[in-house]
Structure 1
Amino acid sequence: MARKMLIDGELDKTSEQEIHYDFDLFVIGAGSGGVRASRFSAQNGAKVGICELPFHPISSEEVGGVGGTCVIRGCVPKKILVYGASFGPELEDARNYGWEVNERVDFNWKKLLHKKTEEIVRLNGVYKRLLANAGVKLFEGEGKVVGPNEVEVIQLDGTKISYSAKHILIATGSRAQRPGIPGQELAITSDEALSLEELPKRAIVYGGGYIAVEFASIWRGMGAIVDLCFRKELPLRGFDDEMRAVVARNLEGRGVNLHPRTSITELVKTDNGIKVRTDHGEELIADVVLLATGRAPNTKRLNLESVGVELDKKTGAVKVDAYSRTNLPSIWAIGDVTNRMNLTPVALMEGTCFAKTVFGGQPTKPDHDNVPCAVFCIPPLSVVGLSEEQAIEQANGDVLVFTSTFNPMKNTVSGRLEKTIMKLIVDAETDKVLGASMCGPDAPEIMQGIAIAIKCGATKEQFDSTVGIHPSAAEEFVTMRSVTRRVSAGKPKKNL
């Protein structure tokens, strides 16, 4: 296949010569983004090959699996555990709704783990079938780039086979990182946390990001004693500060022990468990210590720099332009490996845009503005658009902040003391809604609809003119009439 295409008005010179390649496209990494790009490219007539490491729930440099992090050791199994952890508190709440729950309620961790594994094995098969049905050739093994148009696949038996490709797409995602703490080998990452043989009775989580607060919620919901240590004053750096405070309050309200402005300095194995020392002189004991201090682009074994692909010197991320193209015209990259916006749906969008650009004759840039996301702590947080702090920093004029804090209707009977909070950020001059956030039950389900409105440029007046669904929490987003505060642009913010 030799197509000419336009990118920013310039002819793609690499497509002018008729050269025979084994594949029009070869993809390294069969996660969400890689599978999407492969399928859609094949549907546009491309001959596509893709390689992925053999399946295993716990990722390493030797194993992985079709479906990638999200399906096998990320979003999907995590959400299954969140569901499992939610039933404990739900059973407590049910008593005031008339349900006579026996005093002894047992939780079978191994059963849930088995069900989780069954589901990710099923999904691994689904993704393989999606590739096969699209005509994509799947190779099981480790892929390396050995030239601008050549990929080497190291098969399970060690055999190395090279394939030529007109275009190469890197979609290898990211991997959990371990901080350089003495004794860090005693701890686990999120990979292992999803496949523990035994549910810990005492757990320490180190980190303030979404993975950290989610696992703190999961283990606490299942009855474990949980300590959460993080370096900032509040967890979830980068999110709206007011919502971060709500998440912290909810975690404490559900029994998680918070240790803000705390760093772990050492882990020591003892007869009673793992001793954790902090920079405040504290000593904590746990059965499991989870290091959730970040992830890094998975580029170390791809041989990219040797063939001239530029990587970010600090993170190792693949540098790409607005169309996901590297400095080498034949090599592209999407998803977490580019470290742009590390979310599964974003990788899917980037994969779709890649296929349109390269094989669909429709040069398309992925749009990273107003991307909604959720943190599946219990209860969850979900946001779209600008936080209050971002709006103040970016706005040319005043910013209007609308908030609603209320006791969810369910809690009025159950007796659970946990407020839901919603927030809208509005440009005072244009009336355009710049951002929305919610922490409370069903927040991600509600925010997906709000995201459409914000993506379409909805104004606060249009929100106000929309009739609410009653009784629901979601209706609060269209009934916030009074301004909570008006903030002038550029007002300095406190670093939390």
Structure 2
Amino acid sequence: MANQYDVIVIGGGPAGTAVAGGLTAQGKRVLIVEADLWGGTCPNRGCDPKKILLSAVEAKEAAEHLQHRGLIAGPQIDWPALMAHKRGYTDGISSGTHASLEKQGIATIHGQATFGADGQLTVDGTPVSARDYVIATGQRPAILPITGHENLRTSTDFLDLDDMPKRVTFIGGGYVGFELATIAKAADADVHLIHHNDRPLKNFDPAMVQALMTNLEKEDVHFHLNEDVTAVTKQADGYHVQAASGFELVTDLVICSAGRVPNVEQLGLENVGVAYDRQGVQVNDHLQTANTHIYAVGDVSATPVPKLTPVAGYEARYLVGELTQPGAAIQYPAVPTQVFAAPKLAQVGLSAAAAQREPDRYRVQTIDMTKWFTYYRFGAQQALAKVIVDQPSGTIVGATVLSDLADEMINYLTLLIDQKLTLADLQHRILAYPTPASDLQYLY
């Protein structure tokens, strides 16, 4: 039968393409369906284009840190040129991803996949069938259900702006809000970030978040906490953002950065016994839904780990194995998370709050690294680390880092945690000096 496959993957992002490629390499006949851009959010309108924009921000900040320390007359952001640089990468992602899938011998269809009332999967009305199905449709930015919600834009819009407005406001203090606020400020916008309670970046260490906010406030990023936005109205002088308290500001662009929601509504999952909620498709520890022939992987799945591209790839590799030779439940290693702000904030493993509930077992120490040579040499404004050590074993089990090099340091710390290396173990290795890696021995 022409439309019969071993596995149909719904979603052509990092998770879906990895599953499709892995299964095809194992001899499975695979169809992958994508309703939007091939390649998914990360390379098209997410982490990759964001990091391209941040590269210019990082270069600008590095030059500013060395003003009067060897440099004068720092650079300025040329937004149109930076956007052209970004588009030079993103414009070819969808077609390139599709070409790669076809080269691997994977069947592809561009269209909306939906399970009908009879359980039959169709793509824009065309029936297709398989023994197993993988949901890998990812997430999209949430839009707050407030008065004037049609005036809200999202990270997708921000990452493709032709020009940077003079005034930009973000509603929502998650990592997207902080990162895009950092970019907008570096491009000389007047930036405001509004959050509904007093705990932005709620999954990160609160003391480190406060330190990050203090740094951003010094750069004139304005935070408005405990403000519940109720309306965004377009008027002659700009968009008026209003909160229940009576707070109001006028701005040129309003970005809703209030989280993300799973792309599930159009799939007809209720017709095949698959449950989902705001966290995503419900799965067991084999990434299997209540329907034993339907799985979910990546950002759309309600797994107990952060929604990150490397996690999607990890789950995809696991699921390839599960669909070819079923085995043990998925086990996640330490998962680092980070905020590409100024400075960067990153964490991994056990939190300080959890460690402090067991003071006899864990030692929590906060280390100011600002004057260490690694950071002094480029004029870093602040470098902090909060490290949790398991005292019986002498191993690091958790860490939070706030610095310009936090994204690099958190990967080293993740390896220390996964490999369960003690200080003595680390000192039996020789690492290049002077580098961030050579500082690791001073964090135990």
Q: TM-score, normalized by length of structure 1?
A: 0.83
The SS at the match of 2:281 is: coil
Q: Counterparts of 1:400 and 1:461 in 2: how far apart (Å)?
A: 17
Q: Deviations over 1:58-116 (max 9, x none)?
A: xxxxxx211101111110111111112233333433432434438xx654322222221
**Residue 368 in 1 paired to residue 340 in 2?**
no
Q: Following TM superposition, by how much is the alpha carbon of 1:451 offset from its aligned partner in structure 2, in angstroms?
A: 0.9
Q: Counterparts of 2:63 and 2:410 in 1: how far apart (Å)?
A: 26
1:356 counterpart residue number: 321
Amino acid at match of 1:135: G
1:22 counterpart residue number: 4
**Residue 131 in 1 paired to residue 94 in 2?**
no
Once the two structures are superposed, the pairs formed by residues 93-172 of structure 1 within 5 Å of their partners are: 93-101=65-73, 107-146=77-116, 150-154=120-124, 160-172=125-137
Describe the shift of the 1:260–1:68 C-alpha distance in structure 2 as closer, same or farther (beyond 3 A): same
Unaligned stretches of 5+ in structure 1? 1-18, 54-63, 155-159, 482-496
1:391 counterpart residue number: 355
Once the two structures are superposed, the pairs formed by residues 313-392 of structure 1 within 5 Å of their partners are: 315=278, 317-340=280-303, 341=305, 342-359=307-324, 361-392=325-356
Amino acid at match of 2:440: F
Unaligned stretches of 5+ in structure 2? none
Q: Counterparts of 2:184 and 2:178 in 1: how far apart (Å)?
A: 10
Describe the shift of the 1:316–1:390 C-alpha distance in structure 2 as closer, same or farther (beyond 3 A): closer
Once the two structures are superposed, the pairs formed by residues 444-463 of structure 1 within 5 Å of their partners are: 444-463=407-426
Describe the shift of the 1:299–1:162 C-alpha distance in structure 2 as closer, same or farther (beyond 3 A): same
1:86 counterpart residue number: 58
Q: Counterparts of 2:118 and 2:337 in 1: how far apart (Å)?
A: 35
**Residue 244 in 1 paired to residue 209 in 2?**
yes
**Residue 471 in 1 paired to residue 443 in 2?**
no
Q: Following TM superposition, by how much is the alpha carbon of 1:304 offset from its aligned partner in structure 2, in angstroms?
A: 0.5
Of 460-469 and 316-325, deviating more is 460-469
- 1:289 pairs, out of 229, 254, 258, with 254
Amino acid at match of 2:243: T
The SS at the match of 1:346 is: helix
The SS at the match of 2:280 is: coil
Describe the shift of the 1:372–1:451 C-alpha distance in structure 2 as closer, same or farther (beyond 3 A): same
- 1:221 pairs, out of 166, 183, 186, with 186
Q: Following TM superposition, by how much is the alpha carbon of 1:235 offset from its aligned partner in structure 2, in angstroms?
A: 2.1
Q: Following TM superposition, by how much is the alpha carbon of 1:184 offset from its aligned partner in structure 2, in angstroms?
A: 2.1
The SS at the match of 1:236 is: coil
- 2:230 pairs, out of 253, 262, 265, with 265
**Residue 301 in 1 paired to residue 266 in 2?**
yes
Q: Counterparts of 2:118 and 2:18 in 1: how far apart (Å)?
A: 22
Q: Counterparts of 2:152 and 2:46 in 1: how far apart (Å)?
A: 18
2:365 counterpart residue number: 402
Aligned partners of 2:356 and 2:362 also within 8 Å: yes
Q: Counterparts of 1:365 and 1:336 in 2: how far apart (Å)?
A: 19
The SS at the match of 1:252 is: helix
1:3 counterpart residue number: none
The total of aligned residue pairs comes to 441
- 1:77 pairs, out of 36, 42, 49, with 49
Aligned partners of 1:234 and 1:248 also within 8 Å: no
1:12 counterpart residue number: none
Describe the shift of the 1:187–1:151 C-alpha distance in structure 2 as closer, same or farther (beyond 3 A): same
Aligned partners of 2:384 and 2:401 also within 8 Å: yes
Describe the shift of the 1:428–1:412 C-alpha distance in structure 2 as closer, same or farther (beyond 3 A): closer
Q: Following TM superposition, by how much is the alpha carbon of 1:412 offset from its aligned partner in structure 2, in angstroms?
A: 4.5
Q: TM-score, normalized by length of structure 2?
A: 0.92
Amino acid at match of 1:36: A
Q: Following TM superposition, by how much is the alpha carbon of 1:346 offset from its aligned partner in structure 2, in angstroms?
A: 0.8
Q: Deviations over 1:328-352 (max 9, x none)?
A: 1111111111132311111111111
Aligned partners of 2:282 and 2:289 also within 8 Å: yes
Q: Counterparts of 1:311 and 1:100 in 2: how far apart (Å)?
A: 55
Describe the shift of the 1:460–1:244 C-alpha distance in structure 2 as closer, same or farther (beyond 3 A): farther
Q: Counterparts of 1:202 and 1:248 in 2: how far apart (Å)?
A: 19
The SS at the match of 1:84 is: helix
Amino acid at match of 1:81: L
Aligned partners of 2:196 and 2:229 also within 8 Å: no
Aligned partners of 2:374 and 2:436 also within 8 Å: no
Identity across matched positions, percent:
29
The SS at the match of 2:421 is: coil
Q: Counterparts of 1:191 and 1:20 in 2: how far apart (Å)?
A: 37
Q: Counterparts of 2:117 and 2:298 in 1: how far apart (Å)?
A: 22
Amino acid at match of 1:349: Y
Q: Following TM superposition, by how much is the alpha carbon of 1:460 offset from its aligned partner in structure 2, in angstroms?
A: 4.9
Once the two structures are superposed, the pairs formed by residues 177-196 of structure 1 within 5 Å of their partners are: 177-196=142-161
Q: Following TM superposition, by how much is the alpha carbon of 1:130 offset from its aligned partner in structure 2, in angstroms?
A: 3.0
- 1:42 pairs, out of 9, 19, 24, with 24
**Residue 32 in 1 paired to residue 2 in 2?**
no
Amino acid at match of 2:204: F
Q: Following TM superposition, by how much is the alpha carbon of 1:171 offset from its aligned partner in structure 2, in angstroms?
A: 0.3
